[in-house]
Structure 1
Amino acid sequence: MIVFSWDENNLLICAIVTIVMQFFFYIITCTCKFDKVTDFAGGTNFVILALLTFFLGGAYSGRQILVTVLVCAWGARISGYLLFRIIKTGTDDRFDDKRNSPLRLAGFWTFQAFWVFVVSLGVIFINAPGNAENIIINNKSSLMTPWDIVGVILFGLGLLCETVADFQKYFFRSNPDNHGKFCNTGLWSVSRHPNYFGEIVLWWGIFAIGCSVFTSGQWTAVLSPLFTMTILLFLSGLPLLEKNSDGRHGSKLEYRDYKDSVPILIPFCPPLFRKFPAFLKAVFCCEWPLYNHLSQEEEEAISGKESSEYQTFDASGSYRA
């Protein structure tokens, strides 16, 4: 079913639903000074768009069922986890400078609506009525194309990595003995941000599944994983988190070694990564200067300590003098 005759992919109805949903939650947040629904609104919006486009498409092919289930599973998982976490913590410090400013808050919710819509392009196009007809005509309903297999593997790997990383960090922070420490256990011992790695990989997985059926204009779905990468690599993701971590732990010798031996995003063996020259780390592992906020004095002080002490590090990256 095409809602608007000239919009064969149902992009406009998806945009309208997204704007209305985010505006509704913005009113709640702005009126009640309430942080708890923000991430929940984002995650559930993905689920709404996936189901909406699936039922509007009306073809119910195996590929469409698969992608809809995958996106709904991810959306339910992330929104449920983030809702649980914010209920436990009470407030979200991202909104400390916005909570009492309707205009700044509106800017955040506008960006969130844009994020949901762009990142959902893959599932929107796969479920589009025009694409459903193309699948039937060209007999592309099979889920066994190489692109489908690659996509499912990428999505499964990404979702598993993101889920495990989130819970490992949550349990680490829930332990009073870890107060004031940085998380370097489990997946966090081989990647400084394994949850973000998982997020990027799973959206490349959705795009890969769509590669079996995308028509010419639908290849713009590549904006979904690219936009996810842009946000996490250059905007509110890694730059902000690395700056905060450097500020809190930059004077700690064990943190500096952790940062030198554990890649920022792509999981890798710390002893091998530690031996990589800076050039290779930058080119292949995203270790760029914008993620380093240690002062020159701190780096020199830490270098002095490293040259005067014997140190060993266990497999989890924990320091032992």
Structure 2
Amino acid sequence: MTATGNTLVKCAAVDLAVQWLCWAAAAALKSEKFYDLAGSGTFILLAHLSRIWGGAAHVRQKVQTGLVTAWGLRLGTFLFMRILKDGQDRRFNGVRDSPGTFFVYWSIQAVWVFMTLLPTLMLNSEKGDVPLGMRDYIGWSIWGLGFVTEALADQQKWLFKRNTENAGKFITSGLWAYSRHPNYLGEILQWSGLWLSASSVMQGPQHLSVVCPLFVWFLLRHVSGIPILERQAMKKWGSNPAFQNYVKNTPLLWPCF
């Protein structure tokens, strides 16, 4: 087995071990409160372990690992604070009391972590270095745009919901005036930018890891993100003319200025 393959296998094993141990604790407590925190924490852990196991510490690897860490700390903290305030995550209604179904959710999170992080794991497993170039700077700029977009969108919605005058209302201000899901747009941009930088050292079939940012887009756009929230919004405000107008005039994901 190649050094890269060995690192990927070890990272996959750690990923599964963390998620399944957390599932055991969550199932016993019948709580999903640390689900997202465990996910983001695993991203950070694997990014650093892969760089240690890869045995090299080039600038690109350090920056990539640092950006993953910044993403994980911000999003993990935000989601954990949100669920502490809300008390529960509606995604797990009818699930937290079923250990078997709960196990599936934690296992899916393991797949999400590994697939999303794969380009970074591949990069950190490379001992050879390539001088920094335009691809890196563009990739990191895209990541930065995505980070600011996601953080700002999350903060805007958080403040909107904290205002008691907005109880029962939907947000249409700030970034939410240009996209109905700007936080997910930021998420997609971040992982796309990290893939672009990591691709600087990729060779041949490794470029197929472009499926990783596409996987993030597909998951959020067609599976666990936007479809669920859109159904909930239509159920809650679908008969509201103001909401109908918002849906009609505001892009689902990609803004159109």
Specify which of 59, 64, 68 is matched with residue 62 of structure 1.
59
Letter aligned with residue 76 of structure 1: L
2:40 maps to: 43
Specify which of 228, 240, 244 is matched with residue 228 of structure 2.
240
Query: What is the deviation of 1:257?
Result: 0.9
Contact map agreement 1:53 1:124 (CA 8 A) in 2: yes
2:4 maps to: 8
User: 3-state DSSP class of the match of 2:200?
Assistant: coil
Pick the structure with greater CA Rg: 1
Query: What is the deviation of 1:7?
Result: 4.8
Indicate yes or no: 2:171 matched with 1:175.
no
Letter aligned with residue 242 of structure 2: E
Indicate yes or no: 2:177 matched with 1:211.
no
Deviations 1:264-287 (A, max 9, x none): 111223xxxxxxxxxxxxxxxxxx
User: 3-state DSSP class of the match of 1:211?
Assistant: helix
Indicate yes or no: 2:240 matched with 1:258.
no
Distance 2:110 2:179 in 1: 29
Letter aligned with residue 98 of structure 1: V
Contact map agreement 1:36 1:86 (CA 8 A) in 2: yes
1:21 maps to: 18
Query: What is the deviation of 1:64?
Result: 0.4
Map 1:159-308 → 2, pairs under 5 A: 159-269=147-257
Contact map agreement 1:125 1:221 (CA 8 A) in 2: no
User: 3-state DSSP class of the match of 1:264?
Assistant: coil
1:132 maps to: 127
Contact map agreement 2:3 2:54 (CA 8 A) in 1: no
1:309 maps to: none
User: 3-state DSSP class of the match of 1:251?
Assistant: coil
Distance 2:123 2:4 in 1: 12
Which portions of structure 1, spanning 4 or more consecutive aligned residues, are displaced by more than 3 angstroms?
Answer: none
1:100 maps to: 97
Contact map agreement 1:165 1:195 (CA 8 A) in 2: yes
Deviations 1:234-293 (A, max 9, x none): 111111111111111111111111111110111223xxxxxxxxxxxxxxxxxxxxxxxx
Aligned residues: 256
Query: What is the deviation of 1:218?
Result: 2.1
Indicate yes or no: 2:123 matched with 1:158.
no
Contact map agreement 2:4 2:54 (CA 8 A) in 1: no
Structure 2 stretches lacking a partner, 5+ long: none
1:75 maps to: 72
Name the % identity.
37
Which structure dedicates a bigger proportion of its chain to helix?
A: 2
Structure 1 stretches lacking a partner, 5+ long: 270-321
Deviations 1:67-119 (A, max 9, x none): 00001110111111111111111111111110110111011111000100110
Distance 1:166 1:8 in 2: 36
Query: What is the deviation of 1:161?
Result: 0.3
Deviations 1:48-78 (A, max 9, x none): 0100011112221010001000011101111
User: 3-state DSSP class of the match of 1:212?
Assistant: helix
Letter aligned with residue 72 of structure 2: G
Distance 2:85 2:49 in 1: 31
1:317 maps to: none
Contact map agreement 2:153 2:182 (CA 8 A) in 1: yes
1:117 maps to: 114
Task: Report the RMSD for the aligned CA atoms in angstroms.
Answer: 1.1
Letter aligned with residue 210 of structure 1: A
Distance 2:221 2:112 in 1: 15
- TM-score, with structure 2 as normaliser: 0.97
Query: What is the deviation of 1:221?
Result: 2.1
User: 3-state DSSP class of the match of 2:4?
Assistant: coil
- TM-score, with structure 1 as normaliser: 0.78
Distance 2:14 2:82 in 1: 26
221-230 vs 42-51, which moves further: 221-230
Letter aligned with residue 37 of structure 1: F
